[in-house]
Structure 1
């Protein structure tokens, strides 16, 4: 089949990714969990990013002179940021599949003829014409490694790019995990796609309370959510699982996941929350149904197209990239939830480079699986004392995050 299989990357291998994830010896339970997670995470994980770029941009207040460094993931964030005309965006990711996807999305904006073509390519499913659009407009302008990646054929002889003629958002580790969640719900008599028919937030609440919430009390769901490996598909590594499970006396994530799903289902109108559409309908809404992600909205198209050349994609870790930069040159840092995976040593190495490279007025944003910031008590006071935690805005913006899958959103500002 055409697949984004673990280890099937291009260019450099996945060794950097696996090294970053593994902190325990192989012949231990923790070590085995880390290695299994690393294997699964070395394929395509996120076709769409699951952090809300609108929240990010409100926190960062991007200006034209800003230099941003961000983790790539599914690429939606860096495209949204580029619509604010920053001087430079450096995108880093240890996963070569994400690197290829970020480069493809950038090329789609640069080379497809119109906004409608970009939306058709990146937001619509079952569009076989997308393959012709790739061959005609995008492939000739890609670098050779990225072009080879998307032209690579699977066991059935089909090229990877073929997923854009079907529904790429049903692929990848998270896409398949969502699919399994739908299957499990249907086996219990619940069709999650029905929430897309809700005409009001009241109807969304009713569907959640009556149909979705009771699923978390089913024995099989409680059993599955107490197993680390069963939630690797949600992108929850062993360390994150342990932190979240510590919040429950049952050592299960059923309660935590129920709470996060409630926010996704009930706190925002469906027409305004494309994350909910991906979770429940497994696609983006059509124009009469709701809004597309920021980067696919018509009023941002020309800005992103014109600024695409300011975006530079690197197969590297955040710390590795920063170590090559001069002092005082970066204005905004976007860490997603990567710190949840890090050891104390890795955190201190990262924040040493963040502090060294940060310009006056720099801002760091990140998310955590649990509610609290993970930095206090783990990062050296000598480093953290140079930053101010903006607790009020962090809490306010966390409430606005439509993806709803994280416990905390955090903003650190460079101390004057």
Structure 2
């Protein structure tokens, strides 16, 4: 059985709803197939907000879903005792392990920046061959030296623009094409010069596109958002009682208008398909020059596992973990999966533990779905949740929720 087939076999149980109707299950299986390769070359949750909410301390053991790895690496800046990143997707595991090797073995920050900020230099391919490949485990080497569905060598992405690849990279590329067909250059936002200018560009150039009949029809199809990593179950939560075109317009408006592009690398990824090239362009904390020395010093504290979060927690001791980051994975889960996850979180949580997660919808999804005997052990503030999501620069989620273990 090849690696791609094994990846799908791991993802299907996490995505396919057991209690769904036949048509919904078919859509779930289609998403699982799409999700088996690289989805996120960059994670789309804001690590600065994560670290502020989690208040990570030097004795804390953190467990997180890996995704593209930017956040797991960035948490090291907060000086935790340990970070464990788990993921079902073999491509994400390989990307995280490549990033760890790059921090350890590339000569300095300039090389790290070229590899993951510019990410389109042939010098990166030579650096992989000479400096990184000898330090990678065999599954990671096989992944990067293998070929994608269109026959391209995967490591070649770092010579031609890795952020234009993967499921999300393809989706953003398609969105740029649609925008240009409607006479809009997405990069206009990046040259607006001020928050006022960003809003003017959005309202005059971007907003009218969402009123087009074709866009309303296209976004009404759950499969159209597979490229955002949104499975059918999450599509329904994201849409709520609104047209999907309306919801997407609102989320894009926040990304385009609520934060200065000079301080928001998510805007650069969305509107230019990569990071800015200027020395002061915004990047994730793990790629900032000021953090390179401590990142390198602490990189051995990060461990990456190919595993389901609940299964991983089940192998940990009682009261052994302090911080949990679930991304948006719970949007995919049924009540039984949520209960199993929170049972393990509660069992493994040390006093003062915190759990952070995002949801497509605005409200937390736990009440009424996780038994009160478990959920009542955790404190939650709706007001704090609203403040956290307001500050989240990635702008694509409806809710950002923090739970604290009661004393």
Please give the range of the TM-score, normalised by the shorter of the 2 chains.
Answer: over 0.9
Give the 3 Å change call, closer, same or farther, for CA 154–410 of structure 1 in structure 2: closer
Query: Within 2, Cα distance between the matches of 1:32 and 1:156?
Result: 24
Distance 1:152 1:215 in 2: 39
Unaligned runs of 5+ in 2: none
Matched, 1:127 2:127: no
Q: How far apart, in 1, do the equivalents of 2:151 and 2:362 lie?
A: 46
Corresponding position: 1:371 with 2:365: no
Asked if structure 1 preserves the Cα contact closer than 8 Å seen for 2:319 and 2:350, the reply is: yes
Q: TM-score, normalised by structure 1?
A: 0.95
2:168 paired with 1:178: no
Which residue of the partner structure matches residue 404 of structure 2? 413
Q: Tell me the equivalent position of 1:301.
A: 292
Equivalent residue in structure 1 for 2:162, among 163, 168, 173: 168
8 Å contact 1:368–1:407 — kept in the other structure?
A: yes
Contact 2:335 2:369 in 1 (8 A): yes
From 211, 227, 252, give the equivalent of 2:221. 227
Query: Which of 39, 51, 55 in structure 2 is aligned with 1:45?
Result: 39
Please report the TM-score for the alignment, with normalisation by the length of structure 2: 0.97
Distance 2:374 2:95 in 1: 34
* Contact 2:240–2:361 under 8 Å retained in 1: no
Counterpart Cα distance in 1 of 2:298 and 2:105: 13
Report the equivalent of 1:384: 375
Match of 1:239 among 221, 233, 241: 233
The secondary structure found in structure 2 opposite 1:410 is strand
Mapping 1:87-126, distance limit 5 Å: 87-126=81-120
Distance in 1 (alpha carbons) for counterparts of 2:359 and 2:236: 13
The answer to whether the 8 Å contact 1:270/1:290 transfers is no
Among 267, 278, 303, the alignment partner of 1:287 is 278
SS in 2 for 1:413: strand
- Pairing of 1:19-58 with structure 2 (within 5 A): 19-24=13-18, 28-58=22-52
Alignment partner, residue 324 of structure 2: 333
Partner of residue 66, structure 1: 60
| Structure 2 residue 389 is the aligned partner of structure 1 residue 395 | no
Structure 1 residues 82 and 11: alpha-carbon distance in aligned structure 2, compared to 1, 3 A threshold: farther
Q: Which residue of 2 aligns with 1:4?
A: none
2:306 aligns to what?
315
Distance (whole Å) between structure 1 residues aligned to residue 152 and residue 7 of structure 2: 23
2:170 and 2:305 map into 1 onto residues whose CA distance is 26
1:77 and 1:197, CA in 2 relative to 1: closer, same or farther beyond 3 A?
A: same
CA drift at 1:28: 1.4
Match of 1:354 in 2: 345
Residues 207 and 231 of structure 1: CA distance in aligned 2, closer, same or farther (over 3 Å) = same
Give the drift of 1:195. 1.4
Q: Which runs of 4+ in 1 moved over 6 A?
A: none
Is the CA contact (8 Å cut-off) linking 1:24 and 1:30 kept in structure 2?
no
- Higher mean displacement: 391-400 or 106-115: 391-400
Contact 1:9 1:97 in 2 (8 A): no
Deviation of the 1:157 alpha carbon: 6.7
RMSD: 1.7
Unmatched segments (≥5 aa) in structure 1: 1-6
Partner of 1:209: 203
**Partner-residue secondary structure (3-state), 2:303:** strand
- Which of the two has greater helix per residue? 2
Secondary structure at the aligned position of 2:85 is classed as: strand
Matched residues, number: 407
Deviations 1:250-282 (A, max 9, x none): xx3111100000000000011100000000011
SS in 2 for 1:83: helix
Counterpart of 2:269 (choices 278, 295, 302) is 278
User: Could you tell me how far 1:153 is from its partner in structure 2?
Assistant: 3.9
Q: Are 1:138 and 2:129 an aligned pair? A: no
